[in-house]
Structure 1
């Protein structure tokens, strides 16, 4: 457990969170030694300073937050609740990779005092600011901040926050002359800041050496409006159009990037195979096979396909065979191995006389589900029917193979038994007829040979005379 984080949470939320933690985590051995005993004084919660009316409005929300913390405490305060990989200190604003959005305050009615307080709470030494020079003095120049170039992005353009750039932090543009002579009132400046939170005072520097390593390539000094960060440009657009958060999000090219999740997960150090989550079901190490996406997708596809099959069966009953076939084909596009769709389409093929196609569908259905009664029954019937067609074409051997195949599927299928017996009689009769014909032809051949020999003898006798 992260003891320091737990201490901070208890100090902030007070005794109410402590009692909820004792109730929710009493069986958790990790918390027994960490939770202070009853009667231990805690720092008063920061929320205690709220006026009564505001406190009543927030009471139910705060209570729900405390309940959530207590219920998920074993996950929230675990040391493993950290990024799984290296965390990118800065994420480049690239609208092709992800949706770059204006600060959230742009879509909310947050009072200026609160936004100013949040700005000075979150500002860090080394963050980049962008502003406009308002006055130039002998000791440096003053600038009013327009937006932030790094760190936590805030909506500050209307807060009139002033920063001083001392002369010592202005790099000379040449070996001689006043460094400030290069700058004019109204210039847009990108600078790196230092902060005095207590007095809410900012100083900035134009020296690249003041930049943190992750931002070392950033150019400081005079810029143009084209150099404004993308989030600020978006903020100006929203100010003019009045678009909602969702509208801005959906029209952003990066939102449609198919690799969006992978890109941001990598930047934030999150592992897709082992993602940090407060959902207990995702804390399971060994999931059942049916809980994985392929199995769930297969189940979902089967459900959608069955709806198409049902519609196709209704069309079939009404004699609308074209519409029925379209529904069966649609079902098999969704789920190519759907047994019910294969059986239904096979039955329709058989009805239309396309027996080979029907047999193909029934065979695939039976391979996927060997116990499917209708698939077996219809396949046997269709094999016998196709065998009958081959009989009529005098292809008795082929017909016999179809009947035998039907009996291999169902040895009690009487129609196949009778058809096989019949075709074998025909084959026997045909064989006997062929044998008789062959004998007759042989006899005729012998007789023909004898006749030829007799003629030859007569010719020889005549020559002797």
Structure 2
């Protein structure tokens, strides 16, 4: 294992050299974002791109274990280094080195480093956003009998912030410092200048005071595996190390730093970040703001929109049919009405127009069916009600001629139920009653005389 570790150290050192980085960029087709429209789109949709509602299945762990990655990387490199194939294929070896030792994605310094934000505002935002269980990293500034004070330099979890110049101090009480052995002072194992990783235990936002702990119990379950206590400078978060590099060269732009990162050209960066954000690529969310709402109006659903669209198309057919009807082309008019009803089965205008054509051609029962259906779909439709009343009266007249007086009476009554002021129905019903009474009277007289002379 020692020999493999040595090889890993040599390969890693080579992977970090500029000549290797330049060669990798030569091997790969660099992906740039020079299109100003794309940049504007990302800026405009930033609130949607980073909204929590996008997360369909957010991961529970904050980061992948570095130790596990190291062991995995060591095994991979050891295998490929001893492989005859790798000895014969330098380019493939370089690509594998890139995948193992480079960033999975472009890890950037905190955004506020590129912006002119007042120190007071940055402190205020820090104490607003920090929560119990967050990981902080700092240097011990003084050691007292009751614990030690540390000046924070960066965050180890949650929101990545540039806090190294804010002079934020945290106290680690003696009770939150684990004992290395059963004897001796726990603080004797620490000295000024040590880099400490700790968990936030208590927050006083008003007085801007923090208390931290070196016990893993101060961390949430998904961070409990992270080591707390003294760490080396190599264990500092990558974003902080890049932040330090940026401070030494403040002329670098955000875009240049991002594009110079090996993680930026990782061919699997999109898939990796989607998984990191918990976004389901098979069912991606929409960036249309109108689709971000959860409580949509019924009128905005597909069925309602399709119905509205169908009604519009059907109405065009009805208008064409009416034009045919006016010039006496009844067959063509009927075809257009039928076409309209194929598009929209409940189109009121098409039903009324077809009913009127049926009535004109003498098919009163079919006309009544269309008018009734139209009125059922739209109870306030004037023409549907008017034409239905007229057709009911006309059909009642036909039934009178067929001496189906009771049926005729029901049609007249139905017309009056629809419109109490419909004069034609009222007159027809009165005449029918007079006729039926006279007929009944005549029938009784005839019956009387028959009985008299029998």
TM superposition score normalised by structure 1: 0.44
Choose between structure 1 and 2 for higher RCO, CA contacts under 8 A separated by at least 6 residues. Answer: 2
TM superposition score normalised by structure 2: 0.45
